[in-house]
A and B are shown apart, each in its own frame.
Chain A
Amino acid sequence: KNEVEQSPQNLTAQEGEFITINCSYSVGISALHWLQQHPGGGIVSLFMLSSGKKKHGRLIATINIQEKHSSLHITASHPRDSAVYICAVKSGSRLTFGEGTQLTVNP
């Protein structure tokens, strides 16, 4: 069993839909990152969380430390949101990554 598990692995949505990606982890962490990776490969950090909830534009991330679970929500999704979304947990100094969720938003 991976230390970081994401669901779903693939997600297809219509433009405007509300999207949720889930992440569960099994190790103690100091923080959790949500990352976005586009087809070109570059990784962009969307959020770093250690508790509660953060919001940036149409993106919302929540974390429940007790339940070892985090969610990334995208409101009013748009085709440009199409990318791989990766949950990564920080334990010590290193990040351990989930397998990513491939999101495709169709117009």
Chain B
Amino acid sequence: AAGVIQSPRHLIKEKRETATLKCYPIPRHDTVYWYQQGPGQDPQFLISFYEKMQSDKGSIPDRFSAQQFSDYHSELNMSSLELGDSALYFCASSLGLAGGYEQYFGPGTRLTVT
């Protein structure tokens, strides 16, 4: 069965550069979530989209923006990168927004800022 796809899997950037992370949800899933997991930390919710509209916003820095496109894939844009942005970024997708819908996780993008 198709899973959530994230690209790239690994990314190395320098401070003050920009990065774009992509997430392709499971086919027919209309909801996408982004999470950030710093080294040795538990994942933190960043932002979510349902039917191409932002549905919830967590601890996402103003330097970050995200959107969901007409084909339901999502992109997380990160500007003015800082060393502290180095983390594993997970995308998850679900069939809907309601509590009964399970979230399926992608393999993550490991971002290293040097």
Residues of A within 8 A of B42 (CB): 86, 97-100
Residues of B in contact, count (CB < 8 Å): 27
Q: Which residues in chain A, 41-61, are within 8 Å of chain B measured between CB atoms? A: 41-45, 48, 50
Interface residue? B38 (CB, 8 A) = no
Interface residue? B102 (CB, 8 A) = yes
- Pick the contact of A94 from B48, B100, B105 — CB < 8 Å? B48
Interface residue? B103 (CB, 8 A) = yes
Q: Is the CB of B45 within 8 A of A41?
A: no
Determine chain A's interface SS by DSSP, over half rule. strand
Q: Is the CB of A93 within 8 A of B33?
A: yes
Interface residue? B113 (CB, 8 A) = no
Q: Which residues in chain A, 71-107, are within 8 Å of chain B measured between CB atoms? A: 86, 88, 90, 92-100
Chain A residues in contact with chain B, CB under 8 A? 29-31, 33, 35, 41-45, 48, 50, 86, 88, 90, 92-100
Q: Is the CB of A93 within 8 A of B105?
A: no
Interface residue? B56 (CB, 8 A) = yes
Q: Is the CB of B102 within 8 A of A93?
A: no
A96 to B35, CA, bound (A): 10
Residues of A within 8 A of B102 (CB): 31, 33, 45, 48
A45 to B50, CA, bound (A): 21
- Pick the contact of B108 from A42, A45, A50 — CB < 8 Å? A42
